[in-house]
Amino acid sequence: MKSLIYTLFIASALIFLGACSGGTDETSQAGAADADILKNTPKGQASVVDNESAPNILQVAIGSPDHTTLVAAVQAAEIEHVLVNAGPLTVFAPTNAAFEKLPAGTVENLLKPENKQQLATILTRHAAPGSYAIDDLKKEARKGRKLYMATGDYLDVTVEGDDVYINGIKVLASIQTSNGIINVIDEVILPKSE
């Protein structure tokens, strides 16, 4: 009797499973809808809305009229999320004037979609893990330490008088942000040609 009941139970269960399997179509339709939903969800930390915290590196850069070229380049290279990451990060931020010092056509060329990777590499060479404001850079120079950049390069840090230089480029000002430091420079850091 026990086994009969068991068989009956299994049979009933199977019948009902079968009866309900008509739902598969709906499921797959829902699957397509899900894919749409996923496509429309926010893309990364750069899209987090937060008007209360201290501004991060990206927010400060976007707010600076002297850095519109840099911001355009960051967006073209699609590395915004790096600049809002927990970091900490020190970004050497070339001014618009710095980009203008490059040979004519360089910036326009780099902004082309096919040069995205090259642009990203150039920009990444402007970022160092850690927080280094001008006073910290002076300490680095004093202690004879080089600055390790996110691309793997080491930059020389030197002091002349009251000023501090990165690979010979003068650091004009430091801005504290919520996730690191922006150091304003008026030249683009290019790889050493040796």
Partner 1 sequence: MKFFNYLLLFAVVGAVSLTSCNTGSSKKGNQGALGGNLAERVYVAPGEHDEFYAFISGGFNGQLAVYGLPSGRLFKVIPVFSVDAEKAYGFNEETKPMLNTSYGFIPWGDLHHPDISQTNGKLDGRWVFVNENNTPRIARVDLTTFETEEIIEIPNSAGNHSSSYVTDNTEYVIAGTRFAVPVPQRDMPINEYKGNFKGALSFLKVDPETGEMNIAFQIMMPGFDYDKAHPGRGKSHGWFFYTTYNTEEAHTLLEVNASQRDKDFVAAVNWKKAEEYIKEGKFETMKTNYAHNIYDEETHSAKTIWEKEVKILDPSKLPGLVYFMPMPKSPHGCDVDPSGEYIVGSGKLSANVTVHSFTKMLEAIKNEKFAGDAYGIPILNFEDVLAGTVVQPGLGPLHTEFDGKGNAYTTFFISSEVVKWKLGTWEVVDRKPTYYSVGHLMIPGGNSQAPFGKYLVAMNKITKDRYLPTGPEVTQSAQLYDITGEKMELLLDFPTVGEPHYAAGIPADLVAPNSKKYYKLEENKHPYATLSEKDTKVVRDGNTVHVYMTMIRSHFAPDNIEGIKVGDKVYFHVTNLEQDYDVPHGISMIGANTSEMLIMPGQTETFVWDATAEGVWPFYCTDFCSALHQEMQGYVRVSPKGSDVPLKWSLDDE
Contacts with partner 1 by CB under 8 A lie at 1, 5, 8-9, 12-13, 15-16, 19-20, 23, 26-27, 29-30, 33-34, 37-38, 41-42, 48, 50, 52-54, 56, 85-88, 129-131, 139, 178-180
Give the torsion through C-alpha atoms of 87, 121, 70, 144, to 10 deg: 60
Give the torsion through C-alpha atoms of 130, 82, 151, 110, to 10 deg: -140
Angle, CA 29 vertex, CA 25 and CA 34 arms, to 5°: 140
Residue environment code for 95-106, b if the CB has 16+ CB neighbours within 10 A, otherwise e: bbebbeebeeee
Nearest CB to partner 1, comparing residues 86 and 190: 86
Is residue 139 within 8 A of residue 159, CB to CB? The reply is no
Beta strands in 145-185 (DSSP E): 147-148, 154-155, 157-160, 163-166, 169-177, 180-185
Instruction: Write down the least CB distance from residue 55 to partner 1, Å.
Output: 9
CA gap 12, 7 in Å, rounded = 8
Nearest CB to partner 1, comparing residues 12 and 118: 12
Q: Could you tell me the end-to-end alpha-carbon distance of the chain, in angstroms, rounded to an integer?
A: 90
Nearest CB to partner 1, comparing residues 35 and 97: 35
Instruction: Write down the least CB distance from residue 10 to partner 1, Å.
Output: 10
Nearest CB to partner 1, comparing residues 88 and 175: 88
Nearest CB to partner 1, comparing residues 94 and 180: 180
Instruction: Write down the least CB distance from residue 166 to partner 1, Å.
Output: 20
Instruction: Write down the least CB distance from residue 18 to partner 1, Å.
Output: 11
The position carrying tokens 């979609």 is 113
Nearest CB to partner 1, comparing residues 61 and 98: 61
Instruction: Write down the least CB distance from residue 156 to partner 1, Å.
Output: 20
Instruction: Write down the least CB distance from residue 8 to partner 1, Å.
Output: 7
